[in-house]
């Protein structure tokens, strides 16, 4: 378990963590209703959801805890943010999808929802990663493999391509949004993380 930050810092950092995770879930919900393509992991989540009838946010939670089991042989250290990530994003995603329309007919509105969703996910990532309370389950899997000698770029690519292919076979939505997320999320998160982090951030975020 990662050590707790000083008591005077814990409250503000928890607030940033949960605010960021809430934004992340809302952004994913906008991408789902836009129906123009999801991130690789969310293609998998949606594919499983469509096959099982279980809400996609619930699948996000189940998958998050399943991925945490893979941390055991990698000796990754779980933080408050790790557990919160596994739960909060899925709950917010399911809640938002209950309020948002199931589909958007107007193509322009779908594009607005997609692009807004991508940016909101990036802002949310800046807040929750910048809180410094532990990586999300999927991020920790990549960094754990990287510590075993696999470059983080290859670890990320291998995991996300696998999730994408399996999710697509199961019926998840692959489209232009998938490409935008794949190429745009890294630079966007780097941009927002520099401005929203409460701990020092390296000049570049690799992988």
**Domain spans of the chain, in order of start:** 14-196
Average pLDDT for 23-47 = 97
Is residue 207 pLDDT above 70, yes or no? no
- Report the pLDDT value the prediction gives residue 18, as an integer from 0 to 100: 97
Residue 3 — very low, low, confident or very high, per pLDDT cuts 50/70/90? low
pTM for this entry: 0.88
- Report the pLDDT value the prediction gives residue 195, as an integer from 0 to 100: 87
- Report the pLDDT value the prediction gives residue 199, as an integer from 0 to 100: 63
C-alpha distances (whole Å) from 200 to each of 8, 49, 81, 162, 194 are 18, 38, 17, 33, 8
Question: Can you read off the two tokens belonging to residue 148?
Answer: 């075993």
Read off the pLDDT of residues 87-129 as tens digits, 9 standing for 90 and up. 999 999 999 999 999 889 899 999 999 999 999 999 999 999 8
Q: Say if CB 173 and CB 43 are below 8 A apart.
A: yes
């Amino acid at each position: 378990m990662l050590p707790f930050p000083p008591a005077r810092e814990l409250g503000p950092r928890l607030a940033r963590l949960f605010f960021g995770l809430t934004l992340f879930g809302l952004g994913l919900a906008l991408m789902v209703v836009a129906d123009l393509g999801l991130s690789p992991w969310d293609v998998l989540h949606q594919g499983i959801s469509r096959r099982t009838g279980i809400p996609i946010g619930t699948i996000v939670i189940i998958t998050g805890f399943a991925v945490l089991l893979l941390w055991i042989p990698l000796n990754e250290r779980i933080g408050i943010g790790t557990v919160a990530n596994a739960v909060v994003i899925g709950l917010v995603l399911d809640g938002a999808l209950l309020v948002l329309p199931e589909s958007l007919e107007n193509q322009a509105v779908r594009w607005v929802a997609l692009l807004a969703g991508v940016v909101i996910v990036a802002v949310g990532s800046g807040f929750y990663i910048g809180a410094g309370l532990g990586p999300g389950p999927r991020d920790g899997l990549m960094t754990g493999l990287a510590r075993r000698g696999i470059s983080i770029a290859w670890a990320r690519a291998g995991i996300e391509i696998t999730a994408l292919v399996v999710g697509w076979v199961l019926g998840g939505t692959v489209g232009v949004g998938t490409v935008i997320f794949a190429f745009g999320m890294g630079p966007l998160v780097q941009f927002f993380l520099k401005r929203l982090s409460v701990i020092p951030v390296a000049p570049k975020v690799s992988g």
